[in-house]
Amino acid sequence: MKLKLMRETGKIRLALFRAPARIAALVICLAAVPVLSGCSLALEDVSTGKDRLAGVFVTRNYIEPGLPSLEVNSRGEIVAKDTGPEKIYGCCSSSAESPSVVIFPGLEGYGIYNLQISEEETQEPARYGTCDFPFSNLHFNVSDEEESMEADLCVPTAVSARYYFNPVYQQEDGQIYLLAGSGVSTDSFVDGQKLGHSISESVSRTENGEQSSQTMRFTINIVAAVPPRETELFLMNQENRPLACLSDEQLETLSETGEPLVLPADVSYLVLRQSMPGDQPDIHSLFDRSHSSLEYLTPAEDGYLGYCSVALEWP
């Protein structure tokens, strides 16, 4: 496998946005973010004024820079003037069915965000940490020195791909934009492979003659896994006999609507069977009354993998 890096020209709230079919329920943990090997990018050389780093938007295609402006100098010559990094403005999605929290016109991708939004009742700014499909395992951590978010982006094995990590900023007036970022590429992923990429920015402040620094950090882990071909859930009784079987489509419908799987009184436990490609053995997972939900990996849209999560309601 060949891996290369590419660089081409107030209050804190946690909020989850409901996603459509084939989208996992996200798990949020208020825990320390582990340090992973991978790539990191500091944005100290990018001039963004008072705009705050507010997220990372992942694309599979490099975002081409804007054209330079043309000016006439004092000698009457036409010269090209570099206008700096092009800001691509986005807007928050107004549709509950949209898989993206923020939409950047003309760009396909997904992001994780720490947005500052004013509450309707008090008009006070509140911070909302969230992410798009198909991210999972979202972690949010706050300390005096650093605020960080980390999430996994699951992809299938045995494929070549490129992923670009574009920093997202939020202006004081609330507008959101992104800048073209760097990326990673690989000839093929192997099962269990993880590539970590971090983007961070530090802001210095002086209060009462004392200087302090606050860092905002976003980490995205590209995680490779073998996608199953088919998934079935068997409802088993005490005699270890199946009473019913639910298909992957039925489970995804429950996951999409958020409705629990109401189990009959004679169901003793559940067996989730996933058939794997090639000569790999099937995967069997057991769920009993100690489990309040079941979750499994499934192929999703746009070539990603997602987690299907279904709540269990035992009699």
Beta bridge partners of 219: 150, 198
Q: Please report the pLDDT score of residue 11 as a whole number.
A: 35
Answer whether residue 71 shows pLDDT above 90. Answer: no
Range with the lowest mean pLDDT among 114-128, 197-211, 262-276, 283-297? Answer: 114-128
Answer whether residue 33 shows pLDDT above 80. Answer: no
Q: What is the pTM of this model?
A: 0.74
Q: Please report the pLDDT score of residue 281 as a whole number.
A: 93
Residue written as tokens 């192997």? 190
pLDDT category of residue 126 using cuts at 50, 70 and 90: confident
3-state helix, strand, coil in the chain (%, to 5): 5, 50, 45
Q: Please report the pLDDT score of residue 121 as a whole number.
A: 64
What length does the chain have? 315
What's the sign of the alpha-carbon dihedral 296, 298, 300, 305? positive
pLDDT category of residue 272 using cuts at 50, 70 and 90: very high
> Average pLDDT, stretch 107-122?
84
Range with the lowest mean pLDDT among 41-55, 114-128, 185-199, 281-295? Answer: 41-55
Q: Please report the pLDDT score of residue 123 as a whole number.
A: 67
Contact of 182 with 72, CB cutoff 8 Å: no
Answer whether residue 52 shows pLDDT above 90. Answer: yes
Q: Please report the pLDDT score of residue 314 as a whole number.
A: 96
Q: Please report the pLDDT score of residue 78 as a whole number.
A: 76
Q: Please report the pLDDT score of residue 82 as a whole number.
A: 62
pLDDT digits (tens, 9 = 90+) for 73-90: 788 777 776 656 789 999
> Average pLDDT, stretch 38-49?
48
Contact of 130 with 18, CB cutoff 8 Å: no
Better-predicted residue by pLDDT, 38 or 270: 270
Q: Please report the pLDDT score of residue 74 as a whole number.
A: 80
Kind and range of the H or E element at 29? strand 28-29
Give the mean pLDDT of the chain.
Answer: 80
Q: Report the distance separating Cα 164 and Cα 118, nearest Å.
A: 30
